Amino acid sequence: MKLLFVGTNPENTGAATHFVALAKAMAEAGHQVSGIVPRKGLIGEGFEAAGLPVRYSIFRNAFDVRGYAAVLGEISRQSPDWLVGNFGKEYWPLIACGRLTNTPVALFRHRNPRMSKLSEYGVPRLAQRFIAVSEYARGAYLRWGVPSEHVWISYNPVDTVQYQPDPQRRAQVRREFGIGEDDIVLGYVGRMHGGKGVFQLMQAANQAMAREPRLHVLWVGDGHEEGRLHEIAARSGFEDRHHFTGWVADTSRFHPAFTFLAFPSIEPETFGRVSIEAAACGVPVLGSDIGGVPETMLDGVTGFLIEPGNVPAWRDRILDMCDEPRCRAMGLAARSYVIENFGNAAVAKDFERLLRFGAIPVHHLGHAAT
């Protein structure tokens, strides 16, 4: 198939990461993929790094004539089988361009906040595919009143070559932060604000550190409440075992250094990309049993699901993951699970089937019994 991906959002968001990853996955699967992307930002840089052909343009809003001209020009030149979009401000422009040229349109929705009444009614019905990135998200759209026959599912892909166990990176990152080879490293990757459960994680980690002297936490990312976490760490008595990277463009180099990952959100996540990135590196996950996170893992097999915000429960599971044979076994299971369900080849196959036949993937992810 010939696929024209239109994503002109210059921000470095999870949706942008998904957009690039899906385009690369489809290209690797043998499809002809091109993009209309911005010159700056994660999407433009990601398409360029992947060697995908692009036209640089931008939709500043849904009425930007330059954006329409770029899309219609590429449709005329390429005759794509599908237009693929990821961002709200481009929904109506892509629907309009698709209608004008008789080109089907597939639109992803990554967020749960409700759209305007016009968009909520029209976009799922006028796009040939309106796609949620998890069962959790699909359920939210159905509760809006979107008919079930108008909402499909396609999970995020992860490049299991970019994200894989890497002993050299593991040793390098640990040396960089003064962490020993035999130490146990709890990793956190993401923004640092209250909804991500970082304060509850800090409490649980400090309680676990009091019982496990080899336990360290590597905090990867930044956010407006990072300073408060530094202050709490400084008062904890374990300041030398909390390590902060600040903002980093490429988080993939840190995952192999983790013994396990914590994904402690107390507000629902639409999907939870960080979970599958860690698992692809052979790192088991402690994940909040909320939103789309349970769909990224098998409870008791690739990690553990835990009640959001329950500090004693998180402390106990952190200590459970300090059992190294258990952690290694879960890490092996995690990588296998991700390759089978979220690897580029698996997601590309599902997405192709979705475009051709409108089928929701038949396998049900997550929620294994402990």
User: Is residue 160 a part of any domain in this protein?
Assistant: no
User: Is residue 366 a part of any domain in this protein?
Assistant: no
What pLDDT, on the 0 to 100 scale, is given for residue 11?
Answer: 83
User: Is residue 111 a part of any domain in this protein?
Assistant: yes
User: Is residue 362 a part of any domain in this protein?
Assistant: no
Residue 6 is part of a domain; what is its CATH number? 3.40.50.2000
What pLDDT, on the 0 to 100 scale, is given for residue 80?
Answer: 98
User: Is residue 351 a part of any domain in this protein?
Assistant: no
Residue at a domain's end among 125, 153, 181:
153
Verify that 141 and 190 share a domain, yes or no: no
What pLDDT, on the 0 to 100 scale, is given for residue 362?
Answer: 40
In terms of DSSP H, where are the helices of the chain? 14-28, 42-50, 65-78, 91-101, 117-126, 135-144, 167-176, 198-209, 226-236, 273-280, 311-320, 324-342, 344-357
User: Is residue 354 a part of any domain in this protein?
Assistant: no
Verify that 219 and 305 share a domain, yes or no: yes
Please count the structural domains in the chain: 2
- Show the domain range for 208: 167-342
Mean pLDDT per 10-residue section of the chain, whose length is 370 residues: 95 90 97 96 94 96 94 98 96 98 97 89 96 95 94 95 96 97 97 95 98 98 95 96 93 96 96 96 98 97 98 98 96 98 96 86 44
Verify that 266 and 193 share a domain, yes or no: yes
Verify that 128 and 175 share a domain, yes or no: no
Where b means 16+ CB within 10 Å and e means fewer, 260-299 reads: bbbbbbbebbbbbbbbbbbbbbbbbbbbbbbbbbbbbbbb
Verify that 204 and 121 share a domain, yes or no: no
Residue at a domain's end among 153, 186, 219:
153
What pLDDT, on the 0 to 100 scale, is given for residue 359?
Answer: 61
d(C-alpha 262, C-alpha 270), whole Å? 17
Q: pTM of the predicted model, to two decimals?
A: 0.91
**Tokens describing residue 91:** 């929904």
